[in-house]
């Protein structure tokens, strides 16, 4: 039977194959997803319940702008900022107003009125800074990756145990993306049954002319799985609900940047948790023609349905970002998530005041970090042949 089918398809050729497809049960049903727009929260725009004073140290990555905005949105009062980069300071003040510029890191650490430090220095400096912050009796919010070695991770865990402070990491691809927030609500409501697997595709754009020297050095940023992959490990743990997990396999490569031989522009990994599995692909290959920095996708497979997120763009034609598609036992739906409230800021400020971990589970954040650090450490380095046949 199979041999007869192969002979038939070969005889038909590509042109004749198209009309023959329905005979093999491949005719499309013409499925049209129902449209929904997620309504904003009834509390959106309400005055934050709590307030804190916070400061910023380190402006080496623009993520600090979103981090600062999130804390302010939650009730944080920006007290001061410190950075040795005068150009970055000017841009920061242009965004957040004439905030006080501290004369040193110690000026902030020794200010008893400051409860939180948000930071985005060069990645290899983030964990040591966070430990100093916690030992000065303050909580800490780091840009990702928040920790770039297993040795740093052990030191951070020790400091948390000794100080009782919060070491948070801004995994913005979940915490600050409305579609990702909505997906979490649907998963927790049982909309697709039990989650079996997450698949994360996370392309990024290099823009090489704007990158500092440390960007190209894995010893400074931790490697591609540690860096970009930390977002994806966080999502895998969150959506599957796993509280134990391991990296089953991982690989990395430098395909396109021979002038930066240590740089990694491709990586992937397989993850396995006690409540689900995950696959992650990260890369620096977003083409200029896309118009945004990356076509981030998340697929969540459940026992009763599945969800797809098109976070930043939909090349099928829908404008903007935050597109969610869900298929369950009853129908296929498209949900526009543009108006979904981002809860992280208010929840995080409340955590600081109440000593809770609602905005981000501390152990889950550190487990996501541990997963990518171990995956990075054992990753197979791929070498591809060039078009001319050479490696």
Could you tell me if 221 and 149 are in contact, meaning their C-beta atoms sit under 8 angstroms apart? no
Q: Is 239 in a helix, a strand, or coil?
A: helix
Distance CA 377, CA 149 (A): 9
Percent of the chain with pLDDT over 90: 85
Indicate the pLDDT class of residue 388, thresholds 50, 70 and 90.
low
Domain 174-343 - what CATH class? alpha beta
Residue-by-residue DSSP string for 10-55 = HHHHHHHHHHHGGGGT-------PEEEEPPPPTTTTPPPS--EEEE
Distance CA 362, CA 72 (A): 21
Q: What pLDDT is attached to residue 166? A: 98
Check pLDDT > 50 for residue 389. no
Indicate the pLDDT class of residue 37, thresholds 50, 70 and 90.
confident
Could you tell me if 149 and 369 are in contact, meaning their C-beta atoms sit under 8 angstroms apart? no
pTM for this model (two decimals): 0.90
Tell me whether the omega of the peptide bond preceding residue 334 falls within 30 degrees of 0, making it cis.
no
What element of type H or E holds 145?
none
Check pLDDT > 90 for residue 291. yes
Q: Is 240 in a helix, a strand, or coil?
A: helix
* 295-336: pLDDT as tens digits: 999 999 999 999 999 999 999 889 999 999 999 999 999 999
Average pLDDT score over the chain: 92
Distance CA 70, CA 344 (A): 7
Q: Where are the domains of the chain?
A: 52-170, 174-343
Fold of 52-170: Rossmann fold (3.40.50)
Check pLDDT > 50 for residue 168. yes
Indicate the pLDDT class of residue 15, thresholds 50, 70 and 90.
very low
Check pLDDT > 50 for residue 73. yes
What are the start-end ranges of the E strands in the chain? 34-37, 52-59, 76-82, 100-101, 116-120, 139-143, 167-170, 195-203, 245-253, 266-273, 276-283, 297-302, 305-310, 323-327, 332-336, 380-382
Nearest alpha-carbon partner for 62 in 203, 272, 211, 196: 211
Locate 252 and state its tokens. 């990395």
Q: Is 199 in a helix, a strand, or coil?
A: strand
Check pLDDT > 60 for residue 265. yes
Check pLDDT > 90 for residue 8. no
């Amino acid at each position: 039977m199979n041999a007869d089918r192969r002979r038939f398809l070969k005889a038909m050729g590509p042109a004749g194959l198209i009309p023959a497809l329905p005979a093999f049960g491949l005719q499309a049903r013409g499925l049209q997803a129902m449209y929904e727009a997620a309504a904003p929260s009834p509390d959106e725009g309400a005055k934050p319940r709590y307030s804190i004073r916070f400061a910023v140290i380190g402006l080496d990555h623009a993520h600090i702008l979103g981090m600062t905005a999130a804390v302010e949105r939650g009730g944080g009062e920006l007290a001061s900022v410190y950075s040795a980069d005068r150009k970055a300071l000017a841009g920061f003040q242009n965004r957040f107003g004439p905030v006080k510029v501290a004369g040193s890191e110690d000026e902030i650490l020794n200010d008893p009125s400051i409860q939180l430090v948000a930071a985005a220095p060069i990645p290899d400096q983030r964990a040591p800074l966070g430990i100093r912050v916690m030992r000065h009796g303050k909580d800490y919010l780091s840009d990702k990756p928040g920790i770039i070695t297993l040795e740093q991770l052990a030191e951070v865990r020790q400091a948390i145990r000794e100080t009782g402070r919060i070491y948070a990491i801004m995994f913005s691809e979940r915490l600050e993306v409305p579609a990702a927030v909505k997906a979490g609500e649907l998963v927790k409501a049982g909309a697709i049954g039990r989650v079996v697997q997450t698949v994360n595709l996370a392309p990024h754009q290099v823009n090489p002319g704007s990158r500092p020297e440390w960007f190209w050095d894995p010893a400074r940023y931790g490697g591609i799985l540690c860096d970009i992959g930390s977002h994806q490990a966080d999502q895998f743990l969150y959506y599957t609900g796993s509280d134990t997990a391991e990296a089953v396999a991982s690989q990395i490569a430098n395909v396109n940047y021979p002038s930066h031989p240590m740089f990694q522009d491709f990586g992937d990994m397989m993850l396995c948790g006690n409540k689900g599995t995950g696959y992650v692909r990260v890369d620096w290959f977003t083409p200029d023609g896309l118009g945004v920095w990356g076509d981030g996708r998340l697929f969540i497979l459940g026992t009763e349905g599945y969800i797809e997120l098109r976070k930043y763009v939909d090349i099928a034609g829908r404008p903007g970002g935050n597109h969610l598609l869900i298929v369950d036992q009853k129908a296929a739906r498209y949900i526009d998530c543009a108006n979904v409230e981002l809860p992280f800021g208010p929840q995080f400020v409340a955590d600081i005041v109440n000593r809770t971990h609602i905005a981000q589970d501390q152990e889950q954040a550190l487990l996501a970090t541990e997963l990518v650090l171990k995956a990075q450490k054992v990753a197979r380095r791929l070498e591809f042949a060039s078009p001319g046949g050479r490696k």
